[in-house]
Amino acid sequence: MPDHHPATESDRAAGEKPPALPMPPEVRARFDRIYQRPVVFDVQNLSRTFISPQGQSIQALGGVDFKVHRRELITVIGPSGCGKSTLIRIIAGLESASGGQMLLDGQPVTGPGADRGMVFQGYTLFPWLSVKKNVMFGLESTGRGGAAAEREALQWIDMVGLDGFADHYPHQLSGGMKQRVAIARALANKPRILLMDEPFGALDAQTRAEMQDYLLQIWRNVDVTILFITHDLDEAIYLADRVLVLGRNPGHVKEIVEVPVPRPRTPEQMFDPRFTRVKQRVEHLIHPPGEAPKKPLPVIRMTAVGDEVF
Ligand SMILES: Nc1ncnc2c1ncn2[C@@H]1O[C@H](COP(=O)(O)OP(=O)(O)OP(=O)(O)O)[C@@H](O)[C@H]1O
Ligand SMILES: [Mg+2]
């Protein structure tokens, strides 16, 4: 029996057990295999309170609990301001928690470390360094330099499909290519976990879809566990084993939803009823039916009477 079932941690907080979505036996078997694997990171009752410049206290996270198993790909979705970036920054060790803790391979995290790679939405490559030097940067900063680091960097550049671009500079690359270099740079340090905060948020829809497939291919070939934050419901489901839905005020786990869609994923699966069912479930968690409707904009008529479009 697996020591951990995804539904339990959120259910405990909610006091009820949401029914798992129906899934084919091969997907259930895959989840059972995932839950047999060791827990790589364990977020325990994590909370974070900020003090605003006006001296007000803002509780960004209140008691967030979840576990992620080795080589799982978990996505996090939730409304703006619910604490997604705060959560990932605490896991990365860039921000401290006000309460609770985060264990990586059973050890409490107290600061940043090479065992966690990060990719952000904004392009974070060093503009004065070539692609190869950007990827080597992490290797050199952990004491691996010279020809061996260069060989390794070139392998990572190949792995993200950018062979031939090693000597290019960031300004010579498209947005998607820059993010692939950022992924290569993060993975070159061989992190235990890859933390991604809306990494494809600034890309156009077509490049974004390409990047999702690149990421899945890379993840398939690398021993790394991924936590991926997104605002995009399709992206959250398409990539994930499980989707963690965060609620706000303060940030809390609403539910962790198992995606019942087989792997390898293909874009056609987005039309699969299993995909649409999970999408509906997550959408209801983010915007519960009966939620107060959005305030309509004030009506200021700027057209002639009789010229209505609807
Ligand atoms: N350094 C800070 N000082 C004060 N308040 C902060 C700080 N960082 C975050 N907050 C507050 O904490 C809450 C959560 O912010 P966070 O950036 O984690 O949200 P988010 O879910 O990532 O939002 P988005 O989807 O817009 O990126 C917000 O109310 C934000 O104003
Ligand atoms: Mg954010």
Nearest to 114 by CA among 86, 137, 87: 137
**pTM metric for this prediction:** 0.90
Confirm or reject: Cβ of 56 under 6 Å from ligand 1: no
Centre of ligand 1 from the C-alpha of residue 246, in Å: 13
Confidence category of residue 17, pLDDT binned at 50, 70, 90: low
Residue 169 has what pLDDT? 97
Residue nearest (by alpha carbon) to ligand 1 atom 14:
83
Residue 12 has what pLDDT? 41
Residue nearest (by alpha carbon) to ligand 1 atom 24:
80
Residue 301 has what pLDDT? 81
Question: Structure tokens of 33?
Answer: 């295999």
Separation between Cα atoms, residue 164 and residue 110, nearest integer Å: 39
Sheet with 99-104, strands from edge to edge, namely 57-69, 39-51, 99-104, 107-108
Residue 2 has what pLDDT? 39
Q: What is the mean pLDDT of the chain?
A: 90
Mean pLDDT confidence for 177-197? 95
Question: Amino acid letter at 181?
Answer: V
Residue 24 has what pLDDT? 92
Q: Which of 143-177 are b and which e, b meaning 16 or more Cβ less than 10 Å from the residue's Cβ?
A: eeeeeebbebbbebbebbebeebbeebbeebeebb
Confidence category of residue 193, pLDDT binned at 50, 70, 90: very high
For the CA of 197, the nearest ligand: 2
* In the predicted structure, residue 5 carries a pLDDT above the cut 70: no
* In the predicted structure, residue 14 carries a pLDDT above the cut 50: no
267 CB neighbour count, 10 Å cutoff: 11
Q: At what angle do helices 205-221 and 175-188 cross, to 10 degrees?
A: 20
Centre of ligand 1 from the C-alpha of residue 237, in Å: 23
* In the predicted structure, residue 6 carries a pLDDT above the cut 80: no
Residue nearest (by alpha carbon) to ligand 1 atom 5:
50
Read off φ and ψ for residue 170, nearest 5 degrees: -50, -40
Selected from 3.40.50.720, 3.90.110.10, 2.40.50.140, 3.40.50.300, the CATH number assigned to the domain covering 6-115+191-286 reads 3.40.50.300
Question: What share of the chain in percent tops pLDDT 90?
Answer: 76
CA atoms within 13 A on the CB side of 48: 27
Question: Structure tokens of 186?
Answer: 């993060």
* pLDDT tens-place string over residues 277-293: 999 999 999 988 877 77
Centre of ligand 2 from the C-alpha of residue 223, in Å: 26
Strand 116-120 and strand 225-229: pairing? Answer: unpaired
Residue 16 has what pLDDT? 61
Instruction: List, in order, residues 6 or more apart from 116 with CB less than 8 Å away.
Output: 91, 92, 93, 104, 109, 191, 192, 193, 194, 195
Q: Which residue has the tokens 């539910």?
A: 255
Separation between Cα atoms, residue 38 and residue 271, nearest integer Å: 33
Contact criterion met (CB below 8 Å) for 8 and 20: no
Q: Which of 178-210 are b and which e, b meaning 16 or more Cβ less than 10 Å from the residue's Cβ?
A: bbbbbbbbbbbbbbbbbbbbbbbbbbeeebbbb
Question: Amino acid letter at 129?
Answer: L
Question: Structure tokens of 145?
Answer: 């330099």
- Domain borders along the chain are 6-115+191-286, 123-190
* In the predicted structure, residue 11 carries a pLDDT above the cut 60: no
* pLDDT tens-place string over residues 87-121: 999 999 999 999 999 999 999 988 998 899 999 98
Confirm or reject: Cβ of 122 under 6 Å from ligand 1: no
- Ligand 1 atom with the smallest distance to the CA of 51 is 4
* pLDDT tens-place string over residues 56-69: 999 999 999 999 99
Confirm or reject: Cβ of 47 under 6 Å from ligand 1: no
Mean pLDDT confidence for 145-154? 89
* pLDDT tens-place string over residues 244-274: 999 999 999 999 999 999 999 999 999 999 9
Instruction: List, in order, residues 6 or more apart from 298 with CB less than 8 Å away.
Output: none
- Of 262 and 7, the structure prediction assigns the larger pLDDT to 262
Residue 19 has what pLDDT? 78
Question: What share of the chain in percent tops pLDDT 70?
Answer: 95
Mean pLDDT confidence for 5-27? 64
Separation between Cα atoms, residue 76 and residue 246, nearest integer Å: 7
Contact criterion met (CB below 8 Å) for 228 and 240: yes
Question: Structure tokens of 258?
Answer: 């198992």
Separation between Cα atoms, residue 174 and residue 245, nearest integer Å: 31
Residues with a beta carbon under 5 angstroms from ion ligand 2: 84-85
Residue nearest (by alpha carbon) to ligand 1 atom 17:
85
Separation between Cα atoms, residue 305 and residue 301, nearest integer Å: 9
* In the predicted structure, residue 149 carries a pLDDT above the cut 50: yes
* In the predicted structure, residue 7 carries a pLDDT above the cut 70: no
Residue 295 has what pLDDT? 80
Centre of ligand 2 from the C-alpha of residue 84, in Å: 5
